[in-house]
């Protein structure tokens, strides 16, 4: 098999790539990486010295591709399927990439801050940083509420890279900073995402690992 994905089933950025792979039924070998294992961390770092997943290895092309957005764009070019993740129109393509970055920077990262703080040793927590992350999430939710006023997908009628990026942080975000009554459009969008077969599969495969998610201490 040409493609191998180095990943963890709880990682939101790995979910993003898995959605794209399942969306177009792209064959790949899943390689679950346990960062608690020195040997597995070392193997991942040999592929990508930053040592973070997801990382896609394409033996047929002798290519190693890190970073979720770049992996999906690579798949769109090298392994195109029924769903095209980047619109051919340059302006639409630019807007799709912008929406992808919005979800990564203004939802994914604040959520990682909140969850990561729960893993800190006692006495080293960063309550101010966590509150700033929560405030960023609330701002982002309000922006998405306006963006999704017409329903559909992130970029309109066609499922895209932006939707792959949207599901993981909306799902985890709703766990750490609930969407609330003022986010009916966002809630509707999240439910549409969860019902899509590629996404439902990713979530089903991750479900056995949810029990190890760090709980809020307060």
Domain shared by 196 and 106, yes or no: yes
User: Do 144 and 52 share a structural domain?
Assistant: no
Give pTM, 2 decimals. 0.94
- Asked if residue 202 and residue 154 are part of one domain, the reply reads yes
Q: 101 and 18, same structural domain?
A: no
Which residue in 6, 19, 94 sits closest to 53, CA to CA? 6
Same domain, 110 and 181: yes
Specify the CATH number for the domain of residue 54. Answer: 3.40.30.10
In this structure, of 8-12, 121-125, 190-194, 198-202, the range with the lowest mean pLDDT score is: 121-125
- Find the domain containing 43 and state its range: 3-78
Structure confidence by residue, pLDDT tens digits, 143-168: 999 999 999 999 999 999 999 999 99
Confidence of residue 218 (pLDDT cuts 50, 70, 90): very low
Together in a domain, 68 and 139: no
Q: Over the stretch 99-114, which tens digit does the pLDDT of each residue have?
A: 999 999 999 999 999 9
The reply to whether 83 falls in a domain is: no
| Same-domain pairing of 101 and 150 | yes
Number of domains within the chain: 2
Say whether both 8 and 73 belong to one domain.
yes
Backbone angles phi, psi at 65, to 5 degrees: -120, 115
Query: Looking at the predicted structure, is the pLDDT value of residue 207 above 90?
Result: yes
Q: Using CA of residue 43, residue 48, residue 51, residue 54, what is the dihedral sign?
A: negative
Q: Is residue 178 part of a domain?
A: yes
Tell me how far apart the alpha carbons of residues 119 and 171 are, in angstroms, rounded to a whole number.
20
Q: Per the structure block, which two tokens stand in for 59? A: 């033996």
Domain boundary residue among 12, 45, 78? 78
Q: Same domain for 51 and 136?
A: no
State the residue for tokens 């949207």: 166
Element (H, E) at 195: helix 184-195
Q: pLDDT band at 19, cuts 50/70/90?
A: very high
Are 59 and 166 contained in the same domain? no
Q: Is residue 59 part of a domain?
A: yes
User: Does one domain contain both 167 and 98?
Assistant: yes
Gyration radius of the chain over CA positions? 17
């Amino acid at each position: 098999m040409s493609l191998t994905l180095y990943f963890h089933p709880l990682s939101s950025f790995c979910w993003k790539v898995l959605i794209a792979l399942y969306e177009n039924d792209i064959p790949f070998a899943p390689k679950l990486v346990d960062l608690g294992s020195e040997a597995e961390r070392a193997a991942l770092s040999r592929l990508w010295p930053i040592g973070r997943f997801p990382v896609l290895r394409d033996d047929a092309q002798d290519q190693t591709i890190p970073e979720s957005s770049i992996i999906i764009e690579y798949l769109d070019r090298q392994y195109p399927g029924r769903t095209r993740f980047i619109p051919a129109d340059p302006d639409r393509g630019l807007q799709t990439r912008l929406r992808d970055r919005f979800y990564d920077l203004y939802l994914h990262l604040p959520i990682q801050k909140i969850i990561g703080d729960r893993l800190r040793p006692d006495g080293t927590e960063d309550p101010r940083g966590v509150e700033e992350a929560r405030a960023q999430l609330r701002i982002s939710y309000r922006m998405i509420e306006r963006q999704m006023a017409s329903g559909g997908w992130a970029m309109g009628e066609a499922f895209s890279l932006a939707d792959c990026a949207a599901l993981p942080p909306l799902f985890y975000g709703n766990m750490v900073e609930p969407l609330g009554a003022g986010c009916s459009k966002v809630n509707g969008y999240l439910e549409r995402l969860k019902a899509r077969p590629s996404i439902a599969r990713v979530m089903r495969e991750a479900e056995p690992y949810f029990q190890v998610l760090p709980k809020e201490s307060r």
